[in-house]
């Protein structure tokens, strides 16, 4: 825009997105170079990054109001070895909190420019901006071995997940500024949970996982992927959610938007960002460290690293059985580390015909041995449906419960309730039996329904409530949906 408009560059950084767009171009160039060995766009990215170094390095000229250039420059440093790119990324991180992002009209907290990064304890302002910044913060901390900077990011992540994150892994409770609300301000019906925020959270978690090796970050990536992100895409793959609430009322209507998925948006950040994450999913499945291959996410795949070549077969997340067959292995002993999610109450592991090991603790379960071609590791994760209760400080859902099965959060849609039972009249009995059955539903396809004991108010009539995975909602009609269900008084 600025190249063709005649306006001077970098004079409206609070809103212009100039370096934000540069960051996405740089990330695309790095991806093309790594994935296809094509350096043509990388040459453009290097020229642009060199320009930014000349314009901004060692100055207080300003910061882009929408972070992403920080992590892009760190990634370009990894690809080229040019330290000036990392130095500029570190400068942009350290200059936050000095008012250099300019006046957005939304206040400095909106732009994460109210306090220095190292001094902040909680996420504030526009969610996507905040979480893209955190990805850059983690990149800079990892590449410069800055423990204080990394520690500040870890501190904010813990606070965000504890007090500012929805059950689906989504973030953002305020529509007005697409932003974080107060701690425990998590209304299900007014949840913003922008799809791009889920993607930004996923990217931040990935960097924290690489920096620390802590399985909780891989657990959260899974929660985001299957719920907060997965719900954004219609079953037929052509329509998208910009926002992802946890409840839709029977008469929901806002401005000109009835709250259904749409083919496109005037602010079209979400659909292409969805495609970017889907196109790169294979890169988040596993990593190697020393002589050990770490498997972070489970899906049908071919994994190679740390002297192991594996084929993974599974029907996860519908089934908790994961099979890892050795296709080739180095002659020396090697480690295979399997992530055991915190939600798996009873996990079992076996190798070939060895007796199963039960009671496996959450985290990474490491099998270290000399492997042979044809060896099969079997991992059984516990997908028993479970009741989930909210923190007592989340006022909007006090007295409610939700259902989860494995990594999937469930929801109740009006379309599934029997005998015309109104969803708004349904209450459930936590502790009651949760049944499950595989079904095929029109507009949705394969799924696993969960049934729950409940009552219809005001007469307390016994009834069976039916829930489906949250990521499959809104594929049939525009009627009500709830993740958090009121508890029966008994």
The catalytic residue positions are: 178, 269
Nearest to 397 by CA among 467, 465, 490, 486: 486
Nearest to 192 by CA among 207, 169, 218, 173: 173
Measured CA to CA, the distance from residue 172 to residue 484 in angstroms comes to: 17
Phi, psi (degrees; rounded to nearest 5) at 229 = -90, -45
Contacts (Cβ under 8 Å, ≥6 apart) of 329: 307, 308, 309, 370, 371, 372, 373, 375
Three-state DSSP state, 263:
coil
Contacts (Cβ under 8 Å, ≥6 apart) of 427: 454, 455, 456, 457, 485, 486, 487, 488, 489
Measured CA to CA, the distance from residue 38 to residue 43 in angstroms comes to: 10
Nearest to 226 by CA among 415, 411, 362, 433: 411
Measured CA to CA, the distance from residue 444 to residue 430 in angstroms comes to: 27
Phi, psi (degrees; rounded to nearest 5) at 230 = -60, -35
Place of tokens 């791009």: 196
In the structure encoding, which two tokens stand for residue 16, read together?
């212009």
CA 205 to centroid of chain Cα atoms: 8
Peptide bond into 458 cis (omega under 30): yes
Measured CA to CA, the distance from residue 192 to residue 246 in angstroms comes to: 9
CB 2 within 8 A of CB 51: no
């Amino acid at each position: 825009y600025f190249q063709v408009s005649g306006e001077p560059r970098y004079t409206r950084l609070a809103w212009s997105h100039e370096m934000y767009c540069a960051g996405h171009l740089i990330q695309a160039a790095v991806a093309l170079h790594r994935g296809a060995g094509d350096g043509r766009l990388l040459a453009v990215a290097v020229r642009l990054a060199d320009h930014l170094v000349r314009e901004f390095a060692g100055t207080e000229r300003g910061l882009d109001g929408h972070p992403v250039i920080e992590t892009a420059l760190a990634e370009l440093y990894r690809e080229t070895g040019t330290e000036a790119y990392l130095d500029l990324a570190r400068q942009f991180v350290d200059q936050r909190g000095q008012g250099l992002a300019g006046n957005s009209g939304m206040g400095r907290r909106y732009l994460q420019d109210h306090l220095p990064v190292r001094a902040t304890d909680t996420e504030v302002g526009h969610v996507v901006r905040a979480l893209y910044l955190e990805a850059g913060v983690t990149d800079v901390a990892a590449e410069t071995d800055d423990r204080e900077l990394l520690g500040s990011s870890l501190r904010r992540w813990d606070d965000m997940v504890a007090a500012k994150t929805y059950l689906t892994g989504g973030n953002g409770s305020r529509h007005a500024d697409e932003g974080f609300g107060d701690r425990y301000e998590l209304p299900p019906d007014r949840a913003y949970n922008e799809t791009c925020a889920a993607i930004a959270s996923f990217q931040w978690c990935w960097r924290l996982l690489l920096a620390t090796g802590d399985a909780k970050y891989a657990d959260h990536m899974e929660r985001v992927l299957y719920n907060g992100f997965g719900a954004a895409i219609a079953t037929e793959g052509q329509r998208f959610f910009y926002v992802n609430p946890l409840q839709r009322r029977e008469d929901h209507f806002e401005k000109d938007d009835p709250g259904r998925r749409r083919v496109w948006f005037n602010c079209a950040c979400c659909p292409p960002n969805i495609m970017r994450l889907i196109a790169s999913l294979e890169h988040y499945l596993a990593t190697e460290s020393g002589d050990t291959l770490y498997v972070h996410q489970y899906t049908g795949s071919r994994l190679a690293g740390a002297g192991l070549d594996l084929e993974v077969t599974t029907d996860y997340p519908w089934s908790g059985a994961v099979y890892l067959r050795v296709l080739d292995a180095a002659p020396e002993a090697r480690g295979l580390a399997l992530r055991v999610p915190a939600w798996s109450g009873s996990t079992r592991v076996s190798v070939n015909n060895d007796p199963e090991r039960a009671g496996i603790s959450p985290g990474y379960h490491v099998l270290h041995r000399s492997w042979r071609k044809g060896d099969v590791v079997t991992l059984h994760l516990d997908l028993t449906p479970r009741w989930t209760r909210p923190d007592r400080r989340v006022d909007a859902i006090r007295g409610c419960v939700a259902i989860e099965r494995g990594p999937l959060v469930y929801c109740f849609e009006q379309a599934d309730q029997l005998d015309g039972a109104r969803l708004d009249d349904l209450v459930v009995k936590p502790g009651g039996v949760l049944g499950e059955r595989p079904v095929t539903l029109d507009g949705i396809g394969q799924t696993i329904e969960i049934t729950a004991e409940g009552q219809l108010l005001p007469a307390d009539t016994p009834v069976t409530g039916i829930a489906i995975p949250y990521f499959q909602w809104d594929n049939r009609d525009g009627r009500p949906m709830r993740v958090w269900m009121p508890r029966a008084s008994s």
